[in-house]
Amino acid sequence: MARVTVQLPSVLSIVVGDERRLTVEAESLAAALEQLIERWPGLRGHLFDEAGSFREHVLCFHNQTSTRWLPSLDVPLAEGDVVTILQAVSGG
């Protein structure tokens, strides 16, 4: 199990309160995200659509890698990795 840092956007404090930066222990990115949802079930609908994919404008980074570039979320985690949820911003 790797201890990793998860960072959440401030707008999701509506669900997670002040715990927007937390440490979880998980073997994979998918397992880390599932831990978040077990703790805050309401997060599932905010992060994922009905088909189970990340919502269109939600970005998830594993360190510097967007999950959109990955074939799946079954990515092994290493000690000290950072998982970041971001709101995709476009336009001006």
Residues near another protein (CB under 8 A) are 10-12, 14-15, 41-42, 45-47, 49-52, 55, 57-58, 87-88
CB nearer to another protein: give 52 or 71: 52
CB nearer to another protein: give 2 or 61: 61
CB nearer to another protein: give 2 or 59: 59
Q: What whole-number distance in Å separates Cα of residue 69 and Cα of residue 65?
A: 7
Quickly list DSSP for 8-53.
Answer: --GGGHHHHTT--EEEEEESBHHHHHHHHHHH-TTHHHHHB-TTSS
Q: What whole-number distance in Å separates Cα of residue 9 and Cα of residue 17?
A: 11
Closest contact distance (angstroms) between CB of 48 and another protein is 9
